Amino acid sequence: MKNKDSKTVAEFVTKNIKTADVFKKHGIDFCCGGGVTIKEACKKSAVDFDTLITELNLVESTNSLLNDYNKWELDFLIDFIQNTHHKYVDENLTLLKQYLDKVAQAHGDNHPEIFEIQELIHVVSDELTTHMKKEELLLFPFIKKLVRAKREHTKIEKPYFDSVNNPIQMMEEDHDHAGDIFKRISKLTNAYQTPEDACNTFKALYAKLKEFEDDLHQHVHLENNILFPKARYIESRL
């Protein structure tokens, strides 16, 4: 069994999703950059290791099986991702664009960064929309076939994309790019701190941007650190 200082950030969050809040609080990437040990993550983000361990232990002591995603069957996890995170993205991208249009018109002269944020959201909107369709129409149905074949002890026909690893790699690259876009947005907004002259729509925009990034982190974590590795493993066993 690994010592806690040699476990990766992703392993902590995979075991207990609630630890994501601790890493998020300290500015430690737990989704796309979650493959480093927590010692390395602490060094990179200038976080006190003992403080982080104490906070993680506190969260782990109150672990709830309700959100122990790592124990869910993959077909159930896929339905959860679609019904929760894909639905969230679909519903909130339109809202973000509407907020940005209003804020750009009212505050763009004094806050030109809004125009760059506007462009970035349009980019991430186009990319995530295409990305989710690929998952829903191609990757997720094939993973469900893998799960069914494992459960029923049957063989599965080889897909035209040869291996589940090929579309997974494409999805992971998309995740990295979306993560990079929101890192840029976070920097442009000073970590979503609204300026003194912000109106209520401006405040709502920044709150929604932060909420969207938080949801994206959990969304990516469930796929990168739980769904995809297990799908690769099932395929290898079949």
Verify that 45 and 84 share a domain, yes or no: no
Domain termination site, one of 41, 67, 93: 67
Domain termination site, one of 24, 50, 67: 67
Contact 36, 226 (CB under 8 A): no
For the chain, the domain total comes to 2
168 pLDDT tier (thresholds 50, 70, 90): very high
**Entry pTM:** 0.77
Verify that 154 and 55 share a domain, yes or no: no
Q: Please report, for residues 101, 192, 203, 206, the alpha-carbon distance to residue 107 in angstroms, rounded to integers and kept in the order given.
A: 10, 16, 12, 13
Verify that 41 and 141 share a domain, yes or no: no
CATH code, domain carrying 31? 1.10.3910
Verify that 52 and 119 share a domain, yes or no: no
Residue 1: the pLDDT is: 45
Domain termination site, one of 51, 67, 83: 67
Residue 61: the pLDDT is: 64
Residue 33: the pLDDT is: 77
C-alpha count within 13 angstroms, C-beta hemisphere, residue 111? 20
The whole-angstrom separation of Cα 67 and Cα 16 is 8
- Domain span including residue 161: 72-237
